[in-house]
Structure 1
């Protein structure tokens, strides 16, 4: 697994620009749609289906990531990039024409099917055209796109829905995607494994069934009910077992055996699973703290989260230089320590804490996540040879997405369990304190009791995030103490 020679490509900066445009297109989709959803619901109705607009996108995106990664190795990066980006742009155009929430959810599913390839394929393309010593610095440029999208997305979404039709939030991606495809058509030479291969259709179907059942159970647990969630988990378990048995005996496994035999590849996937879980402890529940416990505004909550998005790309950029001077392991360990420090600081928050404390803590956490995630990615790409680099990169992205879903479900369960213990008589206490009208109607003593209970419950969520961060430190020790070469 030492074949790491980049393709001899001239004018690589155009390929980098094309990849950054594609990454920006996928990154801004997450933030720009969330900002516009109140306006969309006001026009289309269907508030009860609100969660599915986001869940279906995440579901189809996550399920398709490893399949695209394998197809990129078998059929070529360029072909799969064009297919997936075409699906994404087609879904984007159709979303703008949706006449009701049902159609919007269907078209979001199509968008997600296309988005599943954009992140892993752009990272793989960059790994193909830049040698190992340069990859860390170049991949950090891709990471910086997320920081820009976190700031530009909400502002652009708010401006568009205020001055134009909400459909434009989906259509702004079309020219970006077309420019990206044109640049890759002109400057990226196609290359793929010349050996004859076939896609493992049975393994792909079993993987889709396993992940779909598990994600639906996790993402829609509250609306589905305990019995249906249990049935979905059982389906996921049976399909997962069948997938493992099939992969062991398949001539063309979906996940090549080299992935499971390499300590570095295993560590990279385990590390990103943990990063995804820890990230949701911040993204999903820090705004709840700011708006519910602190009584802050949505703008303050969004600003605090933006600090995490700013810290991530800054740390990713620093990691490239640090890896060259030290090693993969040192950089990953340092990132894990920053992640531990940030989640520990969250436990010091109290009702009188200024909001900027939460923002600073989120920034520290973002630096830890950025440093560890880029180190795991570069270590994996520099370990994997060309023939499996696509699926190895995709598996990293897949692990992070799966970790996000697992983290959301786990920490949501921790929060709900603690609230049930401390406020057994209250109906949705978090919603009551976050709504200004409902909060004003609560008498002072009851409000103080409710805030105390929510504060303690959220501290347990942050404690779980800290535990996940500590686990990432242990995984970081599995990364080799080598420099990129």
Structure 2
């Protein structure tokens, strides 16, 4: 790395954190003001699609943009992602109906699909492995802060400004990030002629979009539509495999995904995404419906996971140069099921402190594992594949969230429909149990406790599988990231920067 590029690194990190602020805040602020938006635009039946459209676009396009970053270059794809996100934000503020808002949120999701992997990829370009962990800890802190500030900022905006400003506040932030990238980031010209597998990208997007539509919204689809979408998904998947095997420069390299280290790391990340979704979705329900705590207490219990995550990420960044990467990954994969075990032993007489400790421990393990994965992956592939490899890891996390919603939702519904009362518990009854504490609600709370216990058991089983997958990662993949090698890399990087 040249001395000028080294000197520009603080500005690059500032730009990356600024770009991530847009995506992180957007993930929390919209949910805060959605009731007001629905009241203004109507269309309550489309409520969930405001979030699903963003997630669909973000998940399906992450791998595509990761590949494009390898083929076209980092800076142009980051600037394109910011431009798309800002376009979606601008249009969303002018939405006059729920279908239009959903369409503009889809555009935002496409932009986020470029910004998130590019942030990680650019860090890998500018920082050696020995320094990368600390930087990833900074980026993790952005999401922790956003989880706290997003709802607060949304509340302030909705009380003093039109709801459109929850989208329009992205404009100055995004323009600032783009300006810094243009000024300080080098233009990375690919060493080969760009060859974009357009057909592969299209087939991949169709396959993943239809699959996620079924997983995330199967219950609200018209009769028979789930099978139709699965048929389209199967046909697109077969076409995608055929195209990728024949393409000279495939969008997704099966050789890359088939490697034991990448496959194990990505599958562990997918299961971590599932476990995280299970905790964030059902722990507040347990705290309110079974422990009879206020929404404020339920929110504080869940917030501890966002406190544990950056703590784990920071510790990983400071530890792996001394201990090696493998012990840090194993530790993370142990803390996640250990935290889930606290949820398994919850009962109606439990203190919310028990749930909070479990949430904190799981978040700590997530921080250790996620940062370790992002450090490992770019070190075991060629630079020409770094974008695709790191995007595959983020894609796995997003897909895990969707699969987790489907799996744990199915477990909860099984418990609600198969209980000692002999009749299924409806969503209206659950809502009543969360608001009142009469005899009927007590019975519903008992059924809810049984159903959520099954759900937390499932979260624990999924979390325990993470350890097996981390142990399956070949030792050879982390040998060059041993503490001695990393210390030497750090020393050489410092000498090079000084020279």
Structure 1 residues 465 and 59: alpha-carbon distance in aligned structure 2, compared to 1, 3 A threshold = same
Superposed displacement of residue 93, structure 1: 1.2
1:299-378 superposed matches below 5 A:
299-378=296-375
Partner of 2:442: 448
Please state whether the residue corresponding to 1:21 is helix, strand or coil.
helix
Pairwise CA RMSD: 1.9
1:471 to 2:469 alignment: no
Q: Distance in 2 between matches of 1:55 and 1:236?
A: 17
Q: TM-score, normalised by structure 2?
A: 0.92
Please state whether the residue corresponding to 1:317 is helix, strand or coil.
helix
More deviation, 298-307/93-102: 298-307
Superposed displacement of residue 233, structure 1: 2.1
Q: Distance in 1 between matches of 2:94 and 2:303?
A: 31
Q: Distance in 2 between matches of 1:426 and 1:475?
A: 37
Partner of 2:454: 460
1:77-476 superposed matches below 5 A:
77-225=74-222, 227-422=224-419, 423-429=421-427, 431-435=428-432, 439=436, 444=439, 446-476=440-470
Partner of 1:50: 47
Superposed displacement of residue 127, structure 1: 0.8
**8 Å Cα contact 1:271/1:376 also seen in 2:** no
Structure 1 residues 390 and 192: alpha-carbon distance in aligned structure 2, compared to 1, 3 A threshold = farther
More deviation, 447-456/469-478: 447-456
Q: TM-score, normalised by structure 1?
A: 0.94
- Per-residue Cα deviation, 1:104-125 (whole angstroms, up to 9, x for no partner): 1111111111111111001111
Q: Distance in 1 between matches of 2:293 and 2:429?
A: 14
Partner of 2:11: 14
Partner of 2:56: 59
Q: Distance in 2 between matches of 1:438 and 1:172?
A: 34
Superposed displacement of residue 227, structure 1: 2.6
Superposed displacement of residue 53, structure 1: 0.3
Q: Distance in 1 between matches of 2:456 and 2:3?
A: 42
**8 Å Cα contact 1:91/1:111 also seen in 2:** yes
Q: Distance in 2 between matches of 1:474 and 1:406?
A: 19
Q: Of 2, 23, 26, which aligns to 2:23?
A: 26
- Per-residue Cα deviation, 1:91-138 (whole angstroms, up to 9, x for no partner): 111111111212111111111111111110011111111112111111
Superposed displacement of residue 298, structure 1: 2.4
**8 Å Cα contact 2:433/2:444 also seen in 1:** no
More deviation, 54-63/446-455: 446-455
Q: Distance in 2 between matches of 1:413 and 1:349?
A: 20
Provide structure 2 residue ranges, at least 5 long, that are not aligned to the other structure. 490-499
Q: Distance in 2 between matches of 1:90 and 1:6?
A: 36
Please state whether the residue corresponding to 2:7 is helix, strand or coil.
coil
Q: Distance in 1 between matches of 2:376 and 2:41?
A: 46
Superposed displacement of residue 419, structure 1: 0.8
Please state whether the residue corresponding to 1:197 is helix, strand or coil.
coil
Please state whether the residue corresponding to 2:76 is helix, strand or coil.
helix
Q: Distance in 1 between matches of 2:95 and 2:302?
A: 30
Q: Distance in 1 between matches of 2:86 and 2:303?
A: 27
Superposed displacement of residue 168, structure 1: 1.1
Please state whether the residue corresponding to 1:477 is helix, strand or coil.
helix
Q: Distance in 1 between matches of 2:260 and 2:460?
A: 24
Please state whether the residue corresponding to 1:251 is helix, strand or coil.
coil
**8 Å Cα contact 1:6/1:128 also seen in 2:** no
**8 Å Cα contact 1:381/1:389 also seen in 2:** yes
Q: Distance in 2 between matches of 1:460 and 1:209?
A: 34
- Per-residue Cα deviation, 1:127-156 (whole angstroms, up to 9, x for no partner): 111112111111111111110111111111
**8 Å Cα contact 1:295/1:434 also seen in 2:** no
Superposed displacement of residue 406, structure 1: 0.4
Structure 1 residues 375 and 367: alpha-carbon distance in aligned structure 2, compared to 1, 3 A threshold = same
Partner of 2:497: none
Provide structure 1 residue ranges, at least 5 long, that are not aligned to the other structure. none
